[in-house]
Amino acid sequence: MLLLSDADVERLLTMREAIDAVEGAFGEYARGSALMPPRSTMMLSRFGGSVSLMPSYLEETGALATKIISTYPRNPERGLPTIIAWLAVSDPETGALEALIEATYLTAVRTGAVTGVAARYLAPRGSRVAAVIGCGAQGRTQAWALAETCPLEVIRVHDISRERVRRFIDEMGPRLGVDIAAAGSGAEAVRGADIVVTATTSREPVVRRGWLGDEVHVSAIGSFYPDHRELDTETVAEAKVVVDSREAVLAEAGDLLIPIGEGAIAEDHIHAELGDLVLGRREGRVEGDGLTIFKSVGLAIQDSAVASLVLRKWRET
C-alpha cells in the first residue's frame, strides 16, 4: 500500500490541475455518474470539534476514496491546523486499499479549486480586486485559485489574528505575484472588491450587504454547520445563488438555512448547482447580474477527483 504525505501531495499537485479535476468531478456529479452518500459528522462538543466521514466514487474517472476529516476551530491555539484529514483510496473493482494519503494540504487545495471553478462561471469579467476574509490554510488556497483564474492585481486580506495576516502576506505575495494588502476590518477588505471569499469558522456574518458593491461575486466556503454563517441575510436574499449540492447545503449550510428560517428566502432561491453550470444546463453570470454567491460545504467528489490526479502523477514520476 502506498503512503503519501502532505509534502508528497504538495510536490505533485498544481492548482490549475486541481481546478480542472474538480470541474470534471462536478460535471460527472451533474451527469449522475457519481456516488456520494451524505457526509456523516460526529460533533465532539466537549472539545469544540467535529469528525466527518466522506466517501465517494466517480465512475467515469474510476476514483473511489473515503476521507476522514476533523475540524477543530481552536487548534491554531495549539499550534495545529483547524482542519486535519486523511484519504483512503481504494480500487473500485476489488475494494482493496491502494493508498493512504495525508489530506490536510489536499483538502485546502481542493477547496480552493472549487472556488476557482465557480469563479470561471460567476466572477465579473476582468475582475482585478479580490478580498479574502480568513488567512488560514484555506484562505491561502482560495487566493491561489483566484490568481490562477482571474487577472487579479490586488488581494486584500483580513483575519482576527494579525499574525496570520502577516504570514499570509509574507508567503503568498511572492508566490502569487499579486499585491496583497492587509485590511483593518472585513468592511475595509471587501470595499470595491470584484470577488470576495470567506474562509472562516465564524458563527456570525463576516460580510454584510452594505459593504459590497453592485457587481460582486462572493464565494462562501468556510462554514458548514446549520447554526454558522459567514454572510448576512440581505446579501443572500439579493444574490443569484449557486451551490455545490442542494441536498448538502440544505442539510448543513447556515448561510442558507438561517435566511430560510427567517422567511427571507425559500429553497427555490437556489439558482443552480455548480455542475449545472459546468454542463451548460444553467447560466452563470449574465449581463445585468449584480451579486452572485457560490456556497460550498465541500463535497467528497472533490477529494476523490484530486486524489486520483495525485496518484496518477505519482505513478508517472
Kindly tell me the burial class for residue 268, based on how many C-beta atoms sit within 10 Å of its own C-beta (0-12, 13-18, 19 or more).
exposed
224: pLDDT strictly greater than 80: no
67 is catalytic: yes
pLDDT at 60 over 80: yes
- Residue 173, number of CB atoms within 10 A of its CB: 15
Supply the pLDDT for residue 279.
98
User: Three-state DSSP class for 63?
Assistant: strand
Do 238 and 214 form a contact (C-beta atoms < 8 A)? no
Summary mean pLDDT of the chain: 96
pLDDT of amino acid 225: 86
**pLDDT the model gives residue 317:** 86
Cell numbers standing for residue 301: 467528489
Looking at this protein, which amino acid is placed at residue 65?
A
71 is written with which cell numbers?
475540524
Kindly report the length of the chain.
Answer: 317
**Where are the strands (E) in the chain, listed by range?**
2-4, 34-35, 40-44, 49-58, 63-71, 83-90, 97-102, 129-133, 154-158, 179-182, 195-198, 216-220, 240-243, 270-273, 291-295
Confidence category of residue 155, pLDDT binned at 50, 70, 90: very high
**39 vs 106: CA distance, rounded Å:** 18
Q: Which helix (H) or strand (E) holds 117?
A: helix 104-122
Q: Are 132 and 34 in contact (CB under 8 A)?
A: no
Q: What is the CATH number of domain 2-107+301-316?
A: 3.30.1780.10
Rounded to an integer, what distance in angstroms lies between the CA atom of residue 102 and that of residue 197? Answer: 26
Active-site residue, from 67, 240, 295, 313: 67
Confidence (pLDDT) at 165: 97
> What are the Cα distances from residue 111, in Å, to 51, 52, 100, 301?
18, 16, 20, 11
- Quick: pLDDT tens for 23-33: 999 999 999 99
Q: Measuring CA to CA, which residue among 310, 316, 312 is closest to residue 4?
A: 310
Beta-sheet strands, E only, within 274-315? 291-295
pLDDT of residue 83: 87
Q: Whole-angstrom Cα distance, residue 278 to residue 117?
A: 9
Cell matching residue 280: 451548460
Closest CA to 161 of 169, 152, 149, 153: 169
Which cell numbers hold the place of 88? 483512503
Q: Are 212 and 190 in contact (CB under 8 A)?
A: yes
With a cut of 80, say whether residue 198 has pLDDT above it: yes
Average pLDDT over residues 36-52: 93
pLDDT in tens, 71-117: 998 998 899 988 899 999 999 999 999 999 999 999 999 999 999 99
| pLDDT score, position 223 | 79
Does pTM surpass 0.85?
yes
**Domain boundaries along the sequence of the chain:** 2-107+301-316, 114-299
CATH number of 114-299: 3.40.50.720
Backbone angles phi, psi at 133, to 5 degrees: -105, 115
pLDDT of residue 309: 97
Summarised one tens digit per residue, pLDDT across range 165-193 is 999 999 999 999 999 999 999 999 999 99
